[in-house]
Each structure stands twice: as structure tokens, then as C-alpha cells.
Amino acid sequence: MNELEELKTITQQTLQLRSRDNFAVGAVPTRPPRWAYADKNLFDLEKSELFGRRPLLVGFSCDIPKPGDFFTFDDLQVPVLITRDKQGNANAMLNICSHRAARLKEGNGNARSISCPYHAWNFGLDGKLKKIFKEDSFGEVDKCDYDLQTLPCAEKYGLLFISLDADAELDIDQHLGDLAPWFEMWDLMQMDFIDQYQWQAKGNWKHALDTLFKDYRGMASANTTNTDRVLETVADDERFGPDQQHHRLTFANNALLELRDSDPGTWIAKQLHSVQRVHFLFPNISLLISQTAVELFVLYPGEEPGRHSTRYRAYRRTDTKTIASSEQAQTHFETMRDLIEENNQPLADGHEHSARDDTDQTPSAVMNMQRSCLVAVGIDPDSPARPN
């Protein structure tokens, strides 16, 4: 895949959209019924089916670059440990000792093995039980019966996916569908982690897609001059994946209009990167990938339908000719964090987003993502009937 040619195609689509003064390609779908954001049965169904069985992007290869590296994952109230073993393979397992259910690791770091703080049982980085402290005091123990509970884990294109369903089969290419060639081209293996921040807020997790959309407009505006401001009415929506559940939402700024009457053969990458592109990966991921950075936003349901969290992680790309310094990347992260903090403050203060707020300003990508969540759990998004 040639990125320059693909960007030219996307740019031409966006310019055509601008000439029609449209907000999005195609008819804007209807928002799901109001109960879809508050119903407890649906909320439980989403947590068990969308987050309990499907592939979940939990990080990137650069989060565990060396053998022995690990990090913990607790955002779905299930304690998970992700490791890089001595053979270089990524592994996922429950962060619970198989002996007395003690928690094994906290945060992130590097370790030669996994040792339980309770009775010092020792496990390999792949979760297999290696040693039992004072084994003779426990009687006869078949170590194979006490390996840690492993979870499906797959790594490709610099992406780390897991599933909380121990019996699931992960196929990243199948999950990404026709987005896979893009991730292969980007080669996200070569990145440096910069920083992260997490927000806890009121409102259903699907509402956070609306908030993210507003944040992206603000981010795009923050990255442009007044003369290159974001074109408020232009957002191009493309769908990807085996079930068309992934989306690419394209924003444009005024600098793009300079290309309108020029020959596409003269366009260069710098001009084409003036277009802001957001990739939504079903069910809860938003990715901004530029020449210098990767910004990951992950949405998680809270403990009840009216609560959610948003995690923002920033990375610096080191595989491109245009490389930002660590200081520039940190400054950019702090600018974006503060902007999102400002936009999310009403939710943090308890002013919950309405299911009908800003319907006319919500792009089809967001509403299609919300509708796809219902379809994925077997519910017609246009039906007034609630799940039993």
C-alpha cells in the first residue's frame, strides 16, 4: 500500500464533500433509543458480550519492548497481567495467584519471573508454575494444575490484543478486516510511550463517543493556525471491517482548500497530513495516527450504566523521517490533556450528557458505532423493545 496515494484519494473525497457543504457522506442514521444509554440489562449484556468476549486493544508492542517487561490491566474490573516472556512472546493471564488468589503484580516494570507475595510461589512469564516455596510442606502437588489462568493474547502490527474469554480465538487480521493493510503500513512497532491520563465521569460509555468527537474538533483546531482553522461542516465517514463496525472520520482545515483547484499529482505528504483522521476500532477504541505521534483513547463502562472512564495514552513515533523530540511530545500531550479535561469537566461535575444532545452535530460514524453496539448483542437499534 502506498500511503501518499491513499491520502490523495481520501483528500479528494473530502474536497468533494466540502464542495457539497455536507457534514458526512450518506444519510445520517438515527440515534439508538434513549433507553439504550440507561438500561441495566443492556449494560450487563454489553459488558459480558462486547467487553467479555471480543478482541480488546490493551496497548502496543512498545509497552513491553524487552523480555521480562509487564503491565497490569484493570479497567474492566478484571485483574489482568500482560508480559513479554524470554522467547519474546506477549502473554496475558489473570493477575491472581492460583494458590490463594493473591494479586501478583502492580503497575508496570520488568521481572525475571512472577512471584506471589503471599506464599512465594513462583511462575514463569508465560504463567506456568515453576517453583513452590518449601514445597515439602504442601504435600504432593501437580504443578500443571496450578498454572496461572491464561487469556488469549495476540500481537501484530505493533498492536496488543487480548480477550477476557479464555476460550476465544484471536485473529487480528480478521478483526481489522480491510483496515489491516493500513496498520501494516504504519508499522507501530517503533514508538516511545510518552504519558497517560484517565478520566472518570458520569454518563453512559457510549455517550463518551460524542464527547470524543467534540474533543477531536478541539484538538484539530489546537493544531492549526486561525487561517487554517477546522472546517466545522466537513467530516467524512468511511466504514471498515468484516461487519463495517470500524470507522475512519476525516476532519479538514482551510489549508486543504488550497489543494482544491490544483493537480493531485503535485500534492505532497505534508499538505495531505493537514487532514485530521480518527480511526474508531469497535467497540471502544479511538486512534489518531500522525507522522509524529499516536494518540490512543479507550472508553470503558463503569460499574453502572451512568458511569464510564476514558483513558488517553500518547506515543511518539520513531519510524518516520519527521520525529518529534520527547519534550515536544510531552508538551503536546499536556495541551491535549488540558483541552479534554476542560471539555469533560461538566461530566466530572455531575452534569450528565443527554442522549439527545447535539444530535444534528453528531457524525454518522459516532451514531453508527453506537448502533453497532446494539447489533453486536443481538438487538435491533430501531426497535423500541428493551432486552429482557
Is there a single domain that holds both residue 250 and residue 362?
yes
- Say which residues have a Cβ less than 8 Å from residue 200's Cβ, sequence separation at least 6: 302, 307, 308, 309, 348
Q: What percent of the chain has pLDDT over 70?
A: 79
Is there a single domain that holds both residue 203 and residue 81?
no
- How confident is the model over 289-299, as pLDDT tens digits? 888 899 999 99
Give the pLDDT band of residue 227 (cuts 50, 70, 90). very low
Q: List, as one string, the DSSP characters of 192-239.
A: EEEEEEEEEEES-TTHHHHHHHHHHHHHHHHTS-GGG-EEEEEEEEEE
Is there a single domain that holds both residue 106 and residue 165?
yes
Does residue 82 surpass a pLDDT of 90?
Answer: yes
pLDDT value at residue 152: 98
Please give the model's pTM, rounded to 2 decimal places: 0.87
Q: Which residue range is the domain that position 125 belongs to? A: 56-169
Is there a single domain that holds both residue 94 and residue 133?
yes
pLDDT value at residue 231: 46
Q: Which of 140, 169, 198 is the last residue of a domain?
A: 169
Is there a single domain that holds both residue 212 and residue 296?
yes
- Which region, left, alpha or beta, applies to residue 193 given φ > 0 means left and ψ of -120 to 50 means alpha? beta
- Say which residues have a Cβ less than 8 Å from residue 268's Cβ, sequence separation at least 6: none
| Cell numbers found for residue 118 | 503471599
pLDDT value at residue 27: 56
Is there a single domain that holds both residue 221 and residue 356?
yes
Does residue 72 surpass a pLDDT of 60?
Answer: yes
Residue 259 CA to residue 228 CA, distance in Å, equals: 13
Q: From the centroid of its chain, how far is CA 378?
A: 23
Does residue 232 surpass a pLDDT of 70?
Answer: no
Domain contains 382: no
H-only helix segments in 29-121? 40-49
Is there a single domain that holds both residue 165 and residue 211?
no
pLDDT value at residue 17: 62
Element counts in the chain: helices (H) and strands (E) = 8, 18
Closest CA to 249 of 28, 78, 2, 1: 28
- How confident is the model over 85-135, as pLDDT tens digits? 999 999 999 999 998 899 999 999 999 999 999 889 999 999 999 988 776
Return the biggest CA–CA distance within the chain.
82
pLDDT value at residue 22: 46
> For residues 271 and 328, which has the higher predicted lDDT (pLDDT)?
328
Q: What is the DSSP letter of 147?
A: -
Does residue 216 surpass a pLDDT of 70?
Answer: no
Q: Which of 169, 188, 206 is the last residue of a domain?
A: 169
pLDDT value at residue 198: 93
Residue 140 maps to which CATH number? 2.102.10.10
Q: Which of 138, 169, 200 is the last residue of a domain?
A: 169
Is there a single domain that holds both residue 227 and residue 292?
yes
Is there a single domain that holds both residue 94 and residue 189?
no
- Residue 299: phi and psi, rounded to 5, are -105, 135
pLDDT value at residue 53: 94
Is there a single domain that holds both residue 159 and residue 181?
no
pLDDT value at residue 95: 98
What is the total residue count of the chain? 388
Number of separate domains in the chain: 2
Residue 369 CA to residue 284 CA, distance in Å, equals: 9
Residue 298 CA to residue 310 CA, distance in Å, equals: 6
Residue 289 maps to which CATH number? 3.90.380
Give the pLDDT band of residue 23 (cuts 50, 70, 90). very low
Cell 512469564, residue located: 125
Domain contains 300: yes
**β 307-317/191-202 pair status:** antiparallel
Domain contains 384: no
HEC-encoded secondary structure of 22-34: CCCCCCCCCCCCH
Residue 287 CA to residue 270 CA, distance in Å, equals: 20
pLDDT value at residue 133: 75
Residue 216 CA to residue 289 CA, distance in Å, equals: 13
Domain contains 385: no
Is there a single domain that holds both residue 241 and residue 258?
yes
pLDDT value at residue 236: 63
Averaged pLDDT score across all residues of the chain = 83
Domain contains 272: yes
Mean per-residue pLDDT, 147-175 = 97
Is there a single domain that holds both residue 240 and residue 109?
no
